Chains A and B, each alone.
Chain A
Amino acid sequence: MSSSSGPAAAAAVAAAAAEDSHRKKRRKIEADDAEETSRGRKTAGAGVGETTWRSLAQQRLYYTRLVEALSRSRRSSSASSAEAQDAASASASASASSPPSSGAGEVRGIADRVLATAAKGRSRWSRAILASRLRMSRLGKHHKKARAPTGRGRLKKKPPPQPALEGGARKRRLPAVERRVKVLGRLVPGCRGISMSSVLEETSDYIAALEMQVRAMTVLTQLLSGAQQQLPPTTTTTSGGQIGSGSGSGSG
């Protein structure tokens, strides 16, 4: 795997990882993390330094980190919104809880960042995700972080098949395989304009990582929705009244 942007990308990963580790409250997680990494390296697949995305341990680790990052961002956003409320207390705006704008994009960004960090800089796509986030946060701190350039929204059109374009319009007919690999390179972050073999390698790693991300986020969604259903509904009409009175029990 070419490491042309090695030092800069490694610094990005180190910065992100340092930021994560500074805010860890449980040392045990760090110890577990060291174990997982060593275990991951021992059972690495065919590629050099590939992460084992399929292991349950890796998924649990990602899940924990994701939850930490989400709760951190919620705490900071609620703190900032509380400050805003205090500042705007003069105006009679009764919007108690304003959800952060584009909350889904925020969650997606956090999930991608944690996923890229979990790769520990061993794959090109993970370095590209972290680097692009650093770039965007530098451009505008208060600007909402745009999604990592995975090209999702743009790729609605498929490249036309062009089975046998014999006209003199194209001097060089790209073989179908090369064309498709180019398209693939646009889907995987940071894989434009690299060799075919690198694209295919990155793709396998990226797909495995995405699947793990989906598994972990599904678990989180189920947990959150389950917790929502089981909690007794609190009446918000009564100001500062009994909280969690349990009057509406057994709501389906």
Chain B
Amino acid sequence: MSTRRASRSSQPSSVAGMSDEQISDLLSKLRQLIPQLRTNYTDKVSASKLLQETCNYIRSLHREVDDLSDQISQLLASTDRDSDQAAIIRSLLL
């Protein structure tokens, strides 16, 4: 398994324990998941940029989940004023 050291474009071959092909396979698979990078598939995206966008995307997803949890907890708490409302909501949900 000889790694090509000549190519220094975007995937450095000096990464421990992984072949270039394996890396680029996983990276292309990852790229399909990031909505920002999925559209302009013609352009080449460097591995570093792809990973950076992945980190940003995960952080934004975390933020979204946090916001939604906030809203849900507020909505659930505000309906506790009255047991009737809570019962109706419960019957709607389940």
Contacts and interface: CB of A to CB of B under 8 A. Distances in A.
B76 A236 contact: no
A57 B84 CA distance: 31
B82 A152 contact: no
B84 to A, nearest CB: 5
B65 A213 contact: yes
Q: For the side of the interface on B, what is the size category?
A: 35 or more
A106 B73 CA distance: 8
Contacts of B57: 207
A195 B93 contact: no
Interface string B47-88: 110011011011101111110111111111111111011101
Interface of A: 46, 67-68, 70-71, 74, 78, 96-97, 99-100, 103-108, 111, 150, 152, 155, 175-178, 180-181, 183-184, 187-188, 195-197, 200-201, 203-204, 206-208, 210-211, 213-214, 217-218, 220-221, 223-225, 227-228, 231, 234, 236, 243-244
Interface of B: 11-12, 14-18, 22-23, 26-27, 29-30, 33-34, 47-48, 51-52, 54-55, 57-59, 61-66, 68-82, 84-86, 88-90, 92-94
